[in-house]
Structures are given as structure tokens and as C-alpha cells.
Amino acid sequence: MTNCNDTPAARRPPSNSRQRPGASGEDETSSELVATVRNTLIEHPAFALGISAIRRCHRMGRFGLEEPGCLLIMGVSGSGKSTLRKEYARHHSRRETDEATVIPVLHLELPAQPTIKNVAERILLALGDPLFARGSAEAMTARIVTLFRNCRVELVILDEFQHFIDHSREKVETKVADWLKHLINATRVPFVLMGLHRCQRILQSNEQLRRRFSRQITLEPFGVADRKARRIFDGLLRSIWGCLPVKCSPELSNGGDNVERIHFATYGLIGYVMTLVAASVEIVLEDGRPAIDRDVLAKAFSQSIWPEGRGCLNPFHPGFTNRPLTNSGEPFFGYKT
Ligand SMILES: Nc1ncnc2c1ncn2[C@@H]1O[C@H](COP(=O)(O)OP(=O)(O)OP(=O)(O)O)[C@@H](O)[C@H]1O
Ligand SMILES: [Mg+2]
């Protein structure tokens, strides 16, 4: 994977970002601080790569090419696919003009058991059609094509694409894939599909869709296997420590094996890194500790990632046997791709 930028940037959430409802006084302040940590966006290399791949696809979409180039983005759970989708869409939000609602980027999650009708319904709903559930599949498809034109849709991002594989019968799966191909042809709008790695299977069994989705990227977890990868993960952690509302013990940034331990605790996945960090901030605030240190990380791991991760099964315990937690019953079982 190419890295666009080795030094990740952390961005505090916009003022209108979600805030958890708090209790009162100190509790509320500490909940707010933890929520702020959870809402901090880290523009790490894989994230930047994803944004630029979507942007490239989007740019080409503006030319209304007969065969728009589409994109498939894969990644294990917690690699940041949905965050990428929401962040890209946030920068291209819908706006009202005198003539129409303009929706440059239409984005949605596929339903758990996709059929042509319920996918069409979801798309119509996202387009703001008040009669989104009305009519036959053909009538709905025709309305989608018209609304795409009226709302000047330039890009579509469909998340949870693996639902096609998980819950549809083979016959339905083929039909929906064919319908999707038809929709891309009829609207001339590029589609970005996102999902777990197994969603590639649908492209393997449908050559026409495969040709349209020849561009594919994977949101890889961070690694520590070689010096370069380790430096990037270390850079990510340093940028996180630098923007927290609590102190971090110097032991976290002055070398040692903490980078590896955090990698074992999170599998190098941004979702788990942020979970571990937010839980650590919460522990420091609630227990009145001076800073995040190894002991806090150990507690945060068993509290927020793996309740059975205690003693030698906790990556921050001195007796931990350095190995990925990918055995059956462990938090990253099945994560090998
Ligand atoms: N770039 C990022 N910066 C900060 N936090 C992030 C980033 N990417 C993801 N996260 C956090 O990680 C968690 C998981 O991310 P997200 O839901 O995007 O993963 P996903 O790949 O869509 O997972 P799933 O396949 O389970 O839907 C979220 O809580 C999100 O806030
Ligand atoms: Mg997701």
C-alpha cells in the first residue's frame, strides 16, 4: 500500500459533532472529554489514501462518462471504512437551491438482507423521495435515475456491501448485482462500494460488475513488522498522545516496547486504538490518576476491548507472550485476511 503521508494529523471534532448526554458537573465534563476523544479524526496514511481514491473517482464522475470508473474499498471491521464514507460526504454535503436539493455525494448503508426493492427504497429515501416505498422495482429504478439527474448526484457510496454475500440467496445476489450494473450504466454516476474482504466474492462471480470495479483498495491495519511500518504506527500514537485532554506518561513515547504492546492490543486497527485511548482517558479522569501509563492501558484493554484479557493474556502485563490475539475466543479471531 502506498502511504500518502507518514505523519498522521489529528483533528478535533467540529463544534456540531455528536456529544454524549452527560449527567452533571464533573461527570458531565469527564464524559464530554471522553466524547471529544472518540470524535477526534486522525488523518492517518490509509485514511488519506482512501480519501484520495474516492476523490479521483468523484472527479471523473463529473464528466458523465458512459462507463464511469467505480471503486471498491475493503477492510476488516474497525479499519475505518464508514468513517471514511461519512467524512468524505461531510465535505460534499447536500444543499438547497431555488430549483432543487443538490446531493453531490449520496451515501448509505445497504440493508441487512438486500433485495432490488429494499436497496432501491433505501436509495430513494436518501434522495428524499417522500414515496420511497411506492411502486414496482422498475418504477423505483426509473425514479432513481430521474432523481439522480435532478439532484445532480455525482458519486454514490454504498457501505456494508458484504450484506450481499451474507444474507442473500445466490439467485437474489446475482439479480441485485445485475441491477446495480444497470443502475451504474443508466445514471452514469460512479459508485464506491465498501465492505469486508468477502464482498470481493460478488465481483468474482459477476464479470461485468468486476470490470467496472477494477479499482480496489484495502484499508490495511497498521503494522509493526518492519522499521518503516513501525515508524508510521509510532507516529500515529504520538499524534494521539499529543492531542489528549489528559497527560501521558513519558514511558509511552520514549522507545521501549509499548508500540508493539499497543499493536497486540489493537491489531493495529484505528477503531481499537481509539477505543483503547478513550477508555484510558476515562480511567485517568475517573480514578484521578496523574497520567496514562502502562497500568492504565492494561485496565483500559480489559475494560473496553477484551474482558478476559487479564494477567498473561493482557498485552500490557509483563508476562504477556508476544503473539497476536487471533485464536478462537480472542478479540481478533478471524481478522487475518
Ligand atoms: N480516521 C479515524 N480517526 C479517528 N477515529 C477513527 C478513524 N477511523 C475510524 N475511527 C473510529 O473507529 C471506529 C470504527 O470505525 P468505522 O466504523 O469507520 O470502521 P468500519 O471499517 O466501518 O467497521 P465495520 O466494518 O465494523 O463497519 C469508530 O468509532 C470511529 O470513530
Ligand atoms: Mg462500517
Domain map of the chain by residue range? Answer: 69-218, 223-313
Pocket test for ligand 1, best of 165, 233, 270 (most atoms within 8 A of CB): 270
Pocket test for ligand 1, best of 49, 83, 163, 219 (most atoms within 8 A of CB): 83
Query: Does the pLDDT value for residue 3 go beyond 70?
Result: no
Which protein residues touch ligand 1 with a CB less than 6 Å away?
40-42, 44, 47, 75, 77-83, 270-271, 274
Query: What pLDDT sits at residue 16?
Result: 39
Query: What pLDDT sits at residue 64?
Result: 75
Pocket test for ligand 1, best of 76, 274, 304, 305 (most atoms within 8 A of CB): 274
Query: What pLDDT sits at residue 26?
Result: 66
From ligand 1's centre to the CA of 143, what distance in Å?
A: 33
From ligand 1's centre to the CA of 87, what distance in Å?
A: 11
Query: What pLDDT sits at residue 237?
Result: 95
Report which ligand 1 atom has the smallest distance to the Cα of 272: 12
Query: Does the pLDDT value for residue 319 go beyond 60?
Result: yes
Distance CA 75, CA 58 (A): 20
Q: What region does 255 belong to: left with phi over 0, alpha with psi -120 to 50, or beta?
A: left
Q: Worst-scoring range by mean pLDDT, 29-43, 72-86, 262-276?
A: 29-43
From ligand 1's centre to the CA of 138, what distance in Å?
A: 35
Taking the CA of 39 as reference, the closest ligand is 1
From ligand 1's centre to the CA of 242, what distance in Å?
A: 20
Taking the CA of 269 as reference, the closest ligand is 1
User: Average pLDDT of 179-202?
Assistant: 92
| Residues whose Cβ atom is located within 5 A of ion ligand 2 | 81-82
Would you state the torsion angle of the CA atoms of residues 296, 298, 299, 303, taken in this order, to the nearest 10 degrees? 130
CA nearest neighbour of 319 among 301, 291, 298, 300: 298
Query: Does the pLDDT value for residue 169 go beyond 70?
Result: no
From ligand 2's centre to the CA of 101, what distance in Å?
A: 27
Distance CA 3, CA 232 (A): 9
Whether the Cβ atoms of residue 206 and residue 178 lie closer than 8 Å to each other: yes
Query: Does the pLDDT value for residue 5 go beyond 60?
Result: no
CB atoms within 10 A of CB 54: 25
User: Mean pLDDT for the chain?
Assistant: 89
Taking the CA of 109 as reference, the closest ligand is 2
Query: What pLDDT sits at residue 4?
Result: 35
Taking the CA of 88 as reference, the closest ligand is 1
Using one digit for the tens of pLDDT, what is the confidence trace for 7-64? 566 665 544 333 334 445 666 788 999 999 999 999 999 999 999 999 999 998 888 7
Query: What pLDDT sits at residue 150?
Result: 96
Higher-pLDDT residue of 201, 9: 201
Angle, CA of 21, 271 and 50, to the nearest 5°: 115
| CATH fold of the domain at 69-218 | Rossmann fold (3.40.50)
From ligand 1's centre to the CA of 265, what distance in Å?
A: 16
Using one digit for the tens of pLDDT, what is the confidence trace for 245-256? 999 999 888 768
From ligand 2's centre to the CA of 76, what distance in Å?
A: 9
Query: What pLDDT sits at residue 186?
Result: 94
Query: What pLDDT sits at residue 174?
Result: 80
Residue 227 identity: R
For atom 10 of ligand 1, the residue with the nearest CA is: 271
CA nearest neighbour of 22 among 12, 35, 13: 35
CA nearest neighbour of 74 among 229, 200, 207, 209: 200
Local structure of residue 96 (DSSP, 8 states)? E
Q: Quick check: helix, strand or coil at residue 45? A: helix
Q: Taking the mean position of all CA atoms in its chain, how far away is CA 92?
A: 17
Using one digit for the tens of pLDDT, what is the confidence trace for 203-258? 887 888 899 999 999 999 999 999 999 999 999 999 999 999 999 999 888 768 99
For atom 9 of ligand 1, the residue with the nearest CA is: 80
Using one digit for the tens of pLDDT, what is the confidence trace for 103-162? 999 999 999 888 899 999 999 999 999 999 999 999 999 999 999 999 999 999 999 998
Report which ligand 1 atom has the smallest distance to the Cα of 10: 3
